[in-house]
A and B are shown apart, each in its own frame.
Chain A
């Protein structure tokens, strides 16, 4: 602390004071309200709220659909990032800008657009309906919405790493007799693994909490396509504040664990890239 006070640059007290006050009022105080609310519950009450069959079913669909969506995004996000960096094609800049659409498009808009596409009378839904495949209002619909939401996370974490790959490694590998596939598998992919894992974790974490894009396409059937965030809203609408808060606390603990994991992965990724 003494070092900072000797700094010639002024404004330490003002900026730190403002930052901490604002952070406490907007973020820390409201978040702690959720944790303190559950302290007023007995253990049995809490357990009944967070582990009833309907709640467990919602964890299941949220977790599985988020995992599947993040996995698919890992594969296609890697291909998209690779193509955007390595293969010049006309219109690349526009395609690159479009990747951020899920960040920019309000989730409710994405939700109704995806539902319109995948409903049995929609452009894609109508193509699949004759084969008896239903997407909207099933688990697959939840998965589609979460894939849409998660894609930019993977592309935007992997893309800068591909840009920084040293061509010398690939040249060395090739000059030592490796064919292209061996070079990709043994030289390029290992350098991308930390970034891919980070992107996966970010897409997964975002998908777990996602609400707007899912509620329209999922059909919201209890025990089947009812995701955990929706269940919190349902409980709130029934004035079951304690039940809603208990589930929220389970989700918060999960998200904070994932945030910690993402921070560790990013540190690893940076160290890896620096070598």
Chain B
């Protein structure tokens, strides 16, 4: 018995799992090879293909393709959309997490489910519902109807401002906000629920106001979760295709986001230009993955440090 124990301790000391719960070497190597092969085929190869196709005609052609006014406009619109959608969902996410994590009220689990709804909706339908609301025959669209205005003063003002929702920038922003709606809230809700209310109670007992408590106590505690949610929300906001495609109307140099621009170039057989624009989005995806991993590793290290102390 003692020899078994010592051999187990030996195995543990050497950093191995005990023999009984270890897989044979051939199993390990086969499974590792299968997993890496699958990932290389399905994930790595498409990523490599984007850059290979973009540089197919050389670096000169790549940068010439990027230097395109419509492409620049598409990039600006993509950045603008994300710059509106992410802060809007950030404020919502913090507010939703605050009321769900800090208070008890009837209907709380229903509220959590409803916040998740946009994830269950196909991107195409996410665009369609805004066309139904604001399109020419939509519920709110008839406020813009020239023939038969419901509210003449409002309509006159809107026409004066040249305000349109569908096939225009507001529709793109709305569809993007819908699609990225749950990202930050669903990151923060479980985080704040596990953190509990003790620190907030302490702050308020010591005389801090609600806002002081939020800025000085809650926010420092949730900042990494918040950052994580913002990264994911931003990646989706900049990359969304289906929903934006339905509401944008594909007007070059006006309502084209970068993903839509990629589609137009591709359908016109301008492959180098399409993949050059796509490579910008792929770089963005890589930056997203790197930031996300850094946050995860920092979090795991702090967790380990907490456990050790």
List the interface of chain A (C-beta within 8 A of B): 1, 3-4, 7-12, 14-16, 18-20, 22-23, 26-31, 33-34, 37, 76, 79-80, 82-84, 86-87, 89, 93, 95-110, 112-114, 116-117, 122-124, 147-148, 151, 167, 170-171, 174-175, 180, 183, 205, 208-212, 216, 229-230, 232-233, 236, 241, 244-245, 248, 251-252, 255-256, 258-259, 263
Contact = CB atoms under 8 A, between A and B. Distances in A.
Contacts of A245: 128, 132
Given A105-B282, A109-B262, 13 more contacts: A4-B103, A9-B197, A16-B99, A18-B95, A19-B99, A113-B53, A122-B49, A148-B42, A167-B17, A229-B242, A241-B137, A245-B128, A255-B120
12 contacts: A9-B103, A23-B114, A33-B139, A34-B128, A79-B34, A107-B242, A212-B242, A230-B124, A232-B125, A236-B131, A241-B137, A258-B120
Interface stretch (B61-69, B147-155, B156-164, B286-294): B286-294
A82 B177 CA distance: 36
B205 interface: yes
Contact of B201 (A9, A23, A82, A83): A9
B262 A256 contact: no
Contact of B293 (A97, A241, A252): A97
B161 to A, nearest CB: 21
Contacts of A112: 50, 262, 266, 274-275, 278
A123 B50 CA distance: 12
Interface in B260-274: 260, 262-263, 266, 271, 274
B36 interface: yes
A37 B130 CA distance: 12
A7 B113 CA distance: 24
A106 B238 contact: yes
A116 B98 CA distance: 46
Nearest to A19: B96
Contacts of A79: 31, 34-35, 38
Contacts of A258: 120
Nearest to A28: B114
A1 B106 contact: yes
Contacts of A95: 36, 39
A148 B43 contact: yes
Contacts of B271: 116
Interface stretch (B21-29, B219-227, B301-309): B21-29
Contacts of B286: 104
Contact of B124 (A22, A109, A229): A229
A127 to B, nearest CB: 12
Nearest to B96: A19
Contacts of A98: 39, 43-44, 289
B42 A37 contact: no
Interface of B: 17-18, 20-21, 23-24, 27-28, 31-32, 34-36, 38-39, 42-47, 49-50, 53, 91-92, 95-96, 98-99, 102-106, 111, 113-125, 128-133, 135, 137-139, 174, 177-178, 181, 197, 200-201, 204-205, 209-210, 213-214, 232, 235, 238-242, 245-246, 259-260, 262-263, 266, 271, 274-275, 278, 281-282, 285-286, 288-290, 292-293, 297
Contact of A147 (B42, B209, B293): B42
B31 A107 contact: no
Given A97-B289, A108-B241, A175 B128 contact: no
B121 A31 contact: yes
Nearest to A237: B246
Given A12-B103, A212-B242, A232-B124, A30 B130 contact: yes
A113 B132 contact: no
Contact of A211 (B36, B96, B122, B297): B122
Nearest to B18: A171
B293 A212 contact: no
A171 B121 contact: no
Contacts of A248: 122, 124-125, 128-129
Contacts of B47: 101, 105, 113
A197 B23 CA distance: 25
Contacts of B197: 9
A111 B111 CA distance: 34
A274 to B, nearest CB: 15
A87 B17 CA distance: 11
A27 B21 CA distance: 49
Given A104-B288, A113-B46, A9 B124 contact: no
B133 A229 contact: no
Contacts of B124: 209, 211, 229-230, 232-233, 248
Contacts of B44: 98
Contacts of A83: 31-32, 35-36
